[in-house]
Chains A and B, each alone.
Chain A
Amino acid sequence: MDFAVLLSILDATLRLSTPLLLACLAGLYSERAGVFDIGLEGKMLFAAFGAAAVAAITGSMWLGLLAGISVSLATALLQGVAAISLKGNQLIAGVGINMLAAGLTTFLGQTWFHQGGRTPPLGDGGRFPQITLPFANELAGVPILGPIYAELISGHYLLVYIAFLAVPITAYVLYRTRFGLRLRAVGENPKAVDTAGISVIKLRYQAVLITGLLCGFAGAYFSIAQGSGFGNNMTAGKGFIALAALIFAKWKPVPAMFTCLLFGFLDALQIRLQNFELPVIGVVPVQAIQALPYVLTVILLAGFIGKAVGPKAGGVAYTKER
């Protein structure tokens, strides 16, 4: 494999891991606060649709992004009401949200745009452009480092940089701020937080809304950056891969980034490896690579490669007294 091929695979890795990373960090906030979220997929799908629909109508990517985030926030709020205030089953709430998103986006897309559930293709203003970092073209000629800077680091969508910037921010918020301390505490021992006079309900809503915000970015990435418009079920299970990555990273921000990069790399490799013959093994079934993140997560969960223990109070609504 020569340098150019490797570079293009790594470039694709960055592009493919961005929505995973955003969704994974989104899930991190919610789950660290004790609210299991299997509705990441649904929120991203809603956001992708909202962003594409508004961007298609207004022709503005910024309004699209804003719409995507708003829709995702509203969905997160709905899920929050069910899981936090009404003390419903958090898993069932997530399943419901995913289904609602799958049905409603296609239904509304069909009704509004009459293109089989797709939104119209977006023009230049409606899509995020790829950003060329300063001196990228001038430095491209420098051996090794030049192409790395020009192709790998430069030339991505704004949301890619936001996603990777969100990693240190999340780490800082989680481990260096009072809010982060409380957030972690509420996921481990809500009673202690409550006893300290801090509202468990409010904290959990805040966490769930941050989840909504980040899922909004992730969804918008699908439809108005990477893609040019919304297509049926375009998130295609990425929300669940993000969930797998979250478990794999043991609910920590920096490992989350590396896990998402790994899963993104597998995805990029899988696209490359179609009909590609390896020296010893022969043709690797593409499906085997596609299933790898899920298999790895199952193996990890079983404790065969380390132990993944989630926040202790996760999955249960907090009841002050009985």
Chain B
Amino acid sequence: MSARRPLPRWADVALLPAINLLLAFLVSGLVVLMIGENPLHALQVIFYGAFGYGDGFGYTLYYATNFIFTGLAVAVAAHAGLFNIGGDGQAYVAGLGAIVVALALDQTHWLLVMPLAVLAAAAVGGFWAFVPGWLQAKRGSHVVITTIMFNFIAAALMVYMVNRVLKPATTMAPESETIEVGGRVPQLREFFSFFGYSPVNLSIVIAVIALIGVYILVWHTKFGYAMRVLGANPTASRYAGISNSKMIMITMTISGALAGMVAINEVMGVQNRLVLDYVAGAGFVGIAVALMGRNHPVGIALAAMLFGALYQGGQELQFVIPGITREMIVVIQALVILFTGAMEGLFRPALERTFMLLTPEQKADAVAVSTAKTES
């Protein structure tokens, strides 16, 4: 007796995430209410802080750039049925590639430094994801556990590298040397004064290219097709003559390379040196972004903007309403992950039943089912 019908595509892609997102915001609103602040006022502050003026909007775009990269990283892996939880570590070590290239070519021009740094960051980030991919493909270890472990190994490695290897003898702070001005990724404010002092930079162009690239890769190439077959049914893909282990390794490498692009935005565009913990959990936000965006570049772009706005608006929030701290944004993020990811099934049955009543033949079905239930 399978009376349940799948939802229409638009409801699955847009309506259900929207409802779940609303629920996440509602619960966040309750938390705000609990500490005696007005959630609507908070929302207004967030919105103005994120979109209301040039600087704020620039910051929103800057955060969104990171989230597009990590969101795409999670999404690409997800299409092949892999859950890459290690975006944080991959983005973090990618900074090594970026900084080494940037420091080596310091005196030249950014037009030379940037592409090479992109390649280096992609290579290092890709490698950090390739190893878990290889371990899953060849040795059967679960990619989720290995990427978690690799996050921690990355953290330890970077503390060592920054403190012992990259730190110039003259400074006390745990950070690498600073890149010369000529080698830095240009800020958008150099072209548009609208953005004020915000750190949004040319990396956003790479983010847009990455979005388009992933769209083409997943839906318009043979490789993307093989990837989706693997994700949908590994047995079928093996019988279709696709090498599953090769696919897993390549997909994970692409995923890690995408996560590695965070290093371009942060190290080359904003910090101009390698500092500790610069990824600041962007890899985990990527999980929420990919879940909300349904692993589609358009969805990811929108979800990344939403989280960018939340981050920037959240910064603003703690100045305007002192009772609310930055962590409120982490709470909202977590609720989004819980409701749109893990508890995604919460409203699905009810929604499916509602939709069944909308079309005539489905309504007849539904009536038949309910009478069958009462008779039995």
Q: With A82-B338, A89-B341, A302-B141 as given contacts, are A106 and B325 in contact (CB-CB < 8 Å)?
A: yes
Asked if A243 is an interface residue, CB under 8 A from chain B, the answer is yes
Chain B 139-165: CB-based contact to A (< 8 A → 1; otherwise 0): 111101110111011001101100010
Q: Given the known inter-chain contacts A290-B156, A303-B140, please indicate yes or no for A96 contacting B325, CB distance below 8 A.
A: no
B351 CB to nearest A CB, Å? 14
Q: Which of B31, B145, B157, B284 contacts A247 (CB 8 A)?
A: B145
Which A residues are CB-close (under 8 A) to B338? 78, 82, 93, 96-97, 100
In the bound complex, CA of A310 to CA of B142 (Å):
10
Indicate if A137 sits at the interface (CB-CB under 8 A). no
A128 to B291, CA, bound (A): 43
Within 8 Å CB of A243, what residues of B?
Answer: 145, 148
Q: Looking at the complex, which of B39-47, B181-189, B327-335, B364-372 is the stretch in contact with chain A?
A: B327-335
Supposing A86-B343, A240-B152, A301-B135 touch, asked if A91 and B325 sit within 8 A by C-beta, the answer is: no
A38 at the interface (CB under 8 A from B): yes
Map CB proximity to A onto B16-36 as digits: 1 under 8 Å, 0 otherwise: 000000000000000100010
Q: How far is the CA of A98 from the CA of B335 in the complex (A)?
A: 11
Which of A87, A110, A244, A288 contacts B345 (CB under 8 A)? Answer: A87
Interface residue A62 (Cβ < 8 Å from any Cβ of B)? no
Are the CB atoms of A107 and B327 closer together than 8 Å?
Answer: yes
Q: Is B173 an interface residue (CB 8 A)?
A: no
Across the interface, B153 reaches (CB within 8 A) one of A90, A111, A291, namely A291
Known A-B contacts A88-B341, A294-B149, A301-B135; the reply to A99 vs B333 at CB < 8 A is: yes
Please tell me the size bucket of the interface on A: 35 or more
Task: Select one of B135, B141, B337 contacting A95, CB under 8 A.
Answer: B337
- A103 in contact with B284 (CB, 8 Å): no
B346 at the interface (CB under 8 A from A): yes
What 1/0 flags go to B159-195 for Cβ under 8 Å of A?
A: 1100010000000000000000000000000000000
CB atoms of A110 and B149 under 8 A apart: no
Interface residues of A in 18-35 (CB under 8 A from B): none
Query: Which B residues are CB-close (under 8 A) to A237?
Result: 152
Cβ of A104 within 8 Å of any chain B Cβ, yes or no, is yes
- Residues of chain B lying within 8 A (CB to CB) of residue A78: 338
Task: Give a binary string over A103-126; 1 marks a CB under 8 Å from any B CB, 0 the rest.
Answer: 110111011000001000000000
Closest partner residue, chain A, to B333 (CB atom): A99
Residues A91 and B141 in contact, CB atoms below 8 Å apart: no
A117 to chain B: which residues have CB within 8 Å?
A: 325, 327
Decide if A95 touches B327 in the complex (CB within 8 Å): no
**B61 at the A interface (CB under 8 A):** no
> In the assembled complex, which residues on chain B have CB atoms less than 8 Å from the CB atom of A181?
none
Q: What is the minimal beta-carbon distance from B255 to any residue of chain A, in angstroms? A: 16
Q: Which residues of B contact A106 (CB under 8 A)?
A: 325, 327, 330
CB distance from B200 to the nearest CB of A (A): 25
| A38 CA / B344 CA spacing, docked (Å) | 18
**Contact between B2 and A93 (Cβ–Cβ < 8 Å)?**
no
Asked whether B85 is an interface residue with its Cβ less than 8 Å from the other chain, the reply is yes
Q: Is A298 interfacial (CB-CB < 8 Å)?
A: yes
Complex Cα distance, B234 from A281, in Å, reads 47
CB distance from A205 to the nearest CB of B (A): 16
Which residues of chain B are near A95, meaning CB under 8 Å?
85, 284, 287, 337, 341
Contacts of B150 in A (CB 8 A): 294, 298
B307 at the interface (CB under 8 A from A): no
Contact A297 B145, beta carbon cutoff 8 Å:
yes
A86→B342 contact, CB < 8 A: yes
CB-CB under 8 A from A98, the residues of chain B are 334
**A1 nearest CB across to chain B (Å):** 25
Once bound together, how far apart are the Cα atoms of A288 and B287, in whole Å?
Answer: 29
Q: B91-142: which have CB < 8 Å to A? A: 135, 139-142
How far does the Cβ of A45 sit from chain B's closest Cβ, in whole Å?
Answer: 12
Shortest B248–chain A CB gap in Å is 14
Cβ contact of B337, chosen from A99, A110, A294, cutoff 8 A: A99
B2: chain A residues at CB < 8 Å are 322
User: CA of A100 to CA of B145 in the docked complex: distance in angstroms?
Assistant: 20
Contacts of A295 in B (CB 8 A): 149, 153
A104 and B327 contact, CB distance less than 8 A: yes
Q: How far is the CA of A44 from the CA of B343 in the complex (A)?
A: 22
Give A60-95 as 1s and 0s: 1 = Cβ < 8 Å from B's Cβ atoms: 000000000000000000100111001111111101
Give chain A nearest CB distance to B335 CB in angstroms.
7
Choose one: B140, B328, B337, B343; the contact of A107 (CB below 8 Å): B328
Q: Mark A271-311, 1 if CB is under 8 A from B, else 0.
A: 00000000000000101101100110110011110000010
Contact of A102 with B by CB under 8 A: yes
Which residue, A99, A108, A247, A295, has most C-beta atoms of chain B within 10 A?
A99
The contact string, 1 if C-beta is below 8 Å from chain A, for chain B 306-345, is 0000000000000000011101111101110110011111
Q: Which residues of chain A have C-beta atoms less than 8 A from B69's C-beta? A: none
* A contact residues around B57 at 8 Å (CB): none
User: Which 7 pairs of residues, A with B, have the shortest CB-CB distance?
Assistant: A103-B330, A301-B141, A99-B334, A93-B342, A100-B334, A96-B338, A291-B156
Q: A89-B342, A288-B156, A298-B141 are in contact. List 20 more A-B contacts (CB 8 A).
A: A38-B144, A78-B338, A91-B144, A92-B341, A92-B342, A95-B337, A96-B334, A96-B342, A97-B338, A99-B284, A104-B327, A106-B330, A240-B148, A244-B149, A290-B156, A294-B152, A294-B156, A298-B135, A302-B139, A310-B142
**What are 11 sample pairs from A and B whose C-beta atoms fall under 8 A apart?**
A82-B343, A88-B341, A92-B341, A93-B343, A97-B334, A102-B327, A294-B152, A298-B153, A301-B135, A301-B139, A322-B2
